[in-house]
């Protein structure tokens, strides 16, 4: 049974519903190669747990190669690369056939391989396609920050992507810095009003054909649906932005809202992207959002392990809610196993098993490989249990079920009619 399940999982196409990957047209935003893998922000925070020969500020002033050299020495040579993010780098090299260089611990030989694979723009395009194929990822939904000058400059030039990339409208700034968002759009000749904001968002909706709105919400986010306080357009609080802008727009455009709860941004600001933490968030707020807005679809994931059981129960209660993935600090084998077991036991196949959240192209190889190992172990046990109970399953049914967890539940939810 285990062999059959492992092979089915390996052969099943994946939709990676949230990553930070970009097509090669997005130049400096499209990250790949060993130095990007080694300077992943997860590894930077792990470096400074054990390393004190340079300040964090001075580390960030170094070149990416110099940063990678330090991380390689400190976390791979002087210490066994045992953490999930360290092991991921090894898995990537293994999958790319670099076993000899890994055995020799020869970082420069590894660099030469990646340089060779990406030595010109057409090779980079081929390489991206090859990595998606190796990871069996049919497509990913990008993180397109439409309130970021750098990103919309690139998006204005190239908004037609290969079928490997679908888009999203990432709107954290709209919700938590409405005044700043008005300033932002005024630089593109939109009036600093709610109508201006809605027209700006509709411009990108029409240009990008996004899958969903997305925003990460801090752990102390609390949805207050009764907030009928007077608001003036230049200083809306986040509840007013949800009530008067985002949710009406999501319903008008029939666009789901993907909320990621539980961040604690800037826990250690010196570390930059590597310095964010997490907090126990308000699952009740998600339930209220779903209950008060039955015509709006919500996708949700929570960053804290503590919230996972209540999230499962909430997902049982609201047909307009779909939960997905083991996000960020939950994307570790021990936690993926506990959370996925709970979700199968309480939601059946009605959730999306994982998203990789990859920032560097080749992370698709390790993040999915590591997660699929866990899924294989879980499903072997679960199928043996149902067979023990007297229900026989054939390979086609297992293929159907696995496909639900890796892509079909998401696509079914996105097509679901909310007519009740």
Q: Which residues bind Zn ion (CB under 5 A)?
A: 357
**Closer CB to Zn ion, 169 or 185, in the complex:** 169
Closest contact distance (angstroms) between CB of 301 and Zn ion is 10
Counting Cβ atoms within 10 Å, is residue 58 exposed (0-12), middle (13-18) or buried (19+)?
exposed
Q: Where are the beta strands (DSSP E) in 116-218?
A: 137-141, 165-166, 169-170, 213-218
Give the one residue of 216, 239, 285, 307 binding ligand HDL; rule: CB under 6 A: 216
Q: Is 211 in the site for ligand HDL (CB under 6 A)?
A: no
**Closer CB to ligand HDL, 38 or 344, in the complex:** 38
CA distances from 370 to 72, 364, 377, 393 (A): 21, 10, 11, 26
Distance (Å, rounded) from C-alpha 298 to C-alpha 318? Answer: 9
Closest contact distance (angstroms) between CB of 325 and ligand HDL is 10
**Closer CB to ligand HDL, 208 or 217, in the complex:** 217
Please tell me the chain's helix, strand, coil percentages from 3-state DSSP, rounded to the nearest 5.
Answer: 60, 10, 35
Give the one residue of 11, 115, 273, 397 binding ligand HDL; rule: CB under 6 A: 273
**17 phi and psi angles, rounded to 5 deg:** -80, 0
**Closer CB to ligand HDL, 168 or 340, in the complex:** 168
Closest contact distance (angstroms) between CB of 216 and ligand HDL is 4
Give the one residue of 25, 151, 357, 408 binding ligand HDL; rule: CB under 6 A: 357
Closest contact distance (angstroms) between CB of 185 and Zn ion is 24
Axis crossing angle, helix 363-388 with helix 84-95, rounded to the nearest 10: 100
Contact code string over 137-176 relative to ligand HDL, x by CB under 6 A: ------x---------------------------------
Q: 70 in helix, strand or coil?
A: helix
**Closer CB to ligand HDL, 98 or 215, in the complex:** 215
Q: Are 325 and 301 in contact (CB under 8 A)?
A: yes
Q: Which residues are near ligand HDL by CB under 6 A?
A: 20, 143, 216, 260, 273, 276, 328, 357, 359
């Amino acid at each position: 049974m285990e062999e059959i399940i492992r092979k089915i999982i390996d052969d099943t196409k994946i939709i990676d519903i949230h990553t930070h990957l970009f097509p090669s047209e997005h130049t400096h935003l499209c990250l790949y190669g060993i130095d990007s893998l080694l300077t992943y922000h997860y590894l930077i925070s792990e470096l400074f747990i054990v390393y004190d020969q340079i300040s964090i500020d001075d580390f960030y002033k170094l070149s990416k190669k110099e940063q990678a050299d330090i991380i390689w020495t400190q976390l791979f040579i002087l210490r066994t690369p045992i953490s999930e993010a360290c092991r991921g780098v090894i898995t990537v090299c293994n999958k790319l056939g670099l076993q000899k260089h890994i055995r020799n611990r020869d970082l420069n030989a590894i660099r030469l391989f990646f340089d060779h694979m990406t030595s010109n723009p057409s090779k980079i395009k081929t390489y991206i396609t090859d990595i998606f194929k190796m990871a069996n990822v049919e497509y990913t939904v990008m993180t397109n920050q439409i309130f970021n000058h750098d990103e919309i400059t690139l998006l204005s030039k190239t908004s037609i992507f290969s079928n490997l990339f679908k888009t999203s409208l990432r709107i954290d700034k709209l919700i938590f810095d409405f005044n700043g968002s008005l300033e932002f759009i005024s630089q593109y000749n939109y009036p600093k009003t709610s109508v201006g904001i809605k027209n700006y968002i509709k411009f990108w909706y029409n240009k990008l054909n996004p899958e969903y709105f997305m925003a990460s919400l801090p752990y102390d986010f609390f949805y207050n649906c009764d907030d009928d306080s007077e608001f003036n357009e230049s200083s809306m609080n986040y509840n007013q932005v949800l009530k008067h802008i985002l949710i009406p727009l999501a319903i008008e455009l029939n666009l789901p809202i993907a909320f990621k709860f539980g961040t604690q941004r800037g826990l250690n600001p010196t570390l930059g992207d590597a310095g964010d933490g997490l907090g126990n968030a308000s699952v009740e707020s998600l339930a209220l959002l779903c209950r008060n807005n039955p015509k709006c679809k919500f996708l949700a994931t929570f960053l804290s392990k503590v919230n996972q059981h209540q999230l499962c129960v909430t997902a049982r209660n609201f047909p307009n809610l779909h939960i997905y993935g083991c996000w960020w600090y939950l994307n570790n084998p021990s936690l993926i196993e506990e959370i996925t077991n709970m979700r199968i036991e309480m939601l059946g196949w009605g959730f999306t098993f994982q998203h990789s959240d990859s920032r560097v192209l080749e992370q698709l190889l390790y993040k999915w490989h590591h997660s699929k190992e866990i899924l294989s172990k879980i499903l072997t046990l679960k199928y043996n249990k149902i067979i023990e109970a007297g229900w026989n399953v054939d390979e086609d049914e297992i293929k159907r079920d696995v496909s639900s967890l890796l892509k079909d539940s998401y696509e079914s939810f996105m097509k679901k009619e909310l007519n009740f």
